[in-house]
C-alpha cells in the first residue's frame, strides 16, 4: 500500500513571499501520478497541479510549481508571489497506475494536509 | 457543464437509518470514486468505478454499497448508518485513471 506524508501541519507566510510545502511518499510502483489539491474554507477540492512520474520535467501552473525527485520519493509544491486567496488546506495525493492489470488504480491516496495561511 | 454534482449538501440521520448519497457528472468521465474526509485524516477512498457496471472497493468500504448502471451516476448507499460514518463525503470523476480528478462540493453527513 502507498503512504503519503506531509510533515508540516501548518505554515504561515507574508503576502508576496514564496512558500514551499513538503510531501514525501512511499511506493514500490514505478508508474504513478502525483497531485496537489487545494481546499479553501468552502471545502471544495481544487486541483492545483499534476505530475506524471515518467516525466522528468517538473510541472508548473502559473505561480505554482513542483520539485519532483523520483529517487527520493519527494514531491514539494512551491507557491510564488503568494496571495491572500492561497490561504487553504493543501493536500498531496498519489495514484498508482498498474498498466498490466487492466489499469486498476485504486484511487487517490492523500496526505493529511498542510494548512497554509497567507498573512496580509 | 455542471461538472460533478452531489446531493444533498447536508444530512442528519439517526443510527440504523439508511440513505443514498447522489453523485452525477456530465463530462462523460469513465472513472468515478467516493471519498470520506474526517478531521486530521485527509481523504480516504471508499469505492470506485472504472466504467458502467464495474465497481471495486477502496480503503474503507465497510458499511457502504455502490453501483454504476450509467456513465453519469454513481450513488453511494449507507445500509445502516452508524455514528462512525459522520463525515464529509466527496464524489470525484476523471476521464481516465491518473487523469485530473474533478470533485463535487461534498455532503456533510451527521449520524446521531
Q: What is the pLDDT along chain A (120 residues), one digit of tens a residue?
A: 789 999 999 999 999 999 999 999 999 888 899 999 999 999 999 999 999 998 889 999 999 999 999 999 999 999 999 999 999 999 999 998 764 444 445 789 999 999 999 999
pLDDT at A31: 86
Residue of A96, A107, A115 best to disrupt the B interface, most CBs of B under 10 A: A107
pLDDT at A100: 44
Nine-digit cell string for A105: 488504480
- In tens, the pLDDT along B2-53 reads 799 999 999 999 999 999 999 999 999 999 999 999 987 789 999 999 889 9
- For A26, residues 6+ apart whose C-beta sits below 8 A from its C-beta are A2, A3, A5, A73
- Count of CB pairs separated by less than 8 Å, A with B: 65
Burial of A88 from C-beta contacts in 10 A (0-12 / 13-18 / 19+): buried
pLDDT at B85: 97
Q: How far is B48 from chain A (nearest CA, A)?
A: 7
- For B110, residues 6+ apart whose C-beta sits below 8 A from its C-beta are B11, B12, B13, B86
Does B42 sit within 8 Å of A91, measured CB to CB? yes
pLDDT at A103: 47
Q: How far is B38 from chain A (nearest CA, A)?
A: 10
> Is B24 within 8 Å of B18 (Cβ atoms)?
no
Does B97 sit within 8 Å of A45, measured CB to CB? no
What distance in Å separates the CA atoms of residue A57 and residue A68, rounded to the nearest whole number?
A: 8
Q: Which of A35, A43, A113 sits opposite B42 (nearest CB)?
A: A113
Amino acid at each position: 500500500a502507498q503512504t503519503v506524508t506531509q510533515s508540516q501541519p501548518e505554515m504561515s507566510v507574508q503576502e508576496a513571499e514564496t512558500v514551499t510545502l513538503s510531501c514525501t511518499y512511499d511506493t514500490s510502483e514505478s508508474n504513478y501520478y502525483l497531485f496537489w489539491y487545494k481546499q479553501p474554507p468552502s471545502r471544495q477540492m481544487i486541483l492545483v497541479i499534476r505530475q506524471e512520474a515518467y516525466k522528468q520535467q517538473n510541472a508548473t501552473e502559473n505561480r505554482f510549481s513542483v520539485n519532483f525527485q523520483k529517487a527520493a520519493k519527494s514531491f514539494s509544491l512551491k507557491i510564488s508571489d503568494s496571495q491572500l486567496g492561497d490561504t487553504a488546506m493543501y493536500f498531496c495525493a498519489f495514484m498508482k497506475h498498474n498498466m498490466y492489470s487492466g489499469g486498476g488504480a485504486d484511487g487517490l491516496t492523500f496526505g493529511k494536509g498542510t494548512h497554509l495561511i497567507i498573512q496580509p | 457543464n455542471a461538472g460533478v454534482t452531489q446531493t444533498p449538501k447536508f444530512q442528519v440521520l439517526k443510527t440504523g437509518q439508511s440513505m443514498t448519497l447522489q453523485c452525477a457528472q456530465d463530462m462523460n468521465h469513465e472513472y468515478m470514486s467516493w471519498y470520506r474526509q474526517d478531521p486530521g485524516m485527509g481523504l480516504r477512498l471508499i469505492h470506485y468505478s472504472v466504467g458502467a457496471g464495474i465497481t471495486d472497493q477502496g480503503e474503507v468500504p465497510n458499511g457502504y454499497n455502490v453501483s454504476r448502471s450509467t456513465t453519469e451516476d454513481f450513488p453511494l448507499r449507507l445500509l445502516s448508518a452508524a455514528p462512525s460514518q459522520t463525515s464529509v463525503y466527496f464524489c470525484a470523476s476523471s476521464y481516465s485513471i491518473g487523469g485530473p480528478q474533478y470533485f463535487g462540493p461534498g455532503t456533510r453527513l451527521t449520524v446521531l
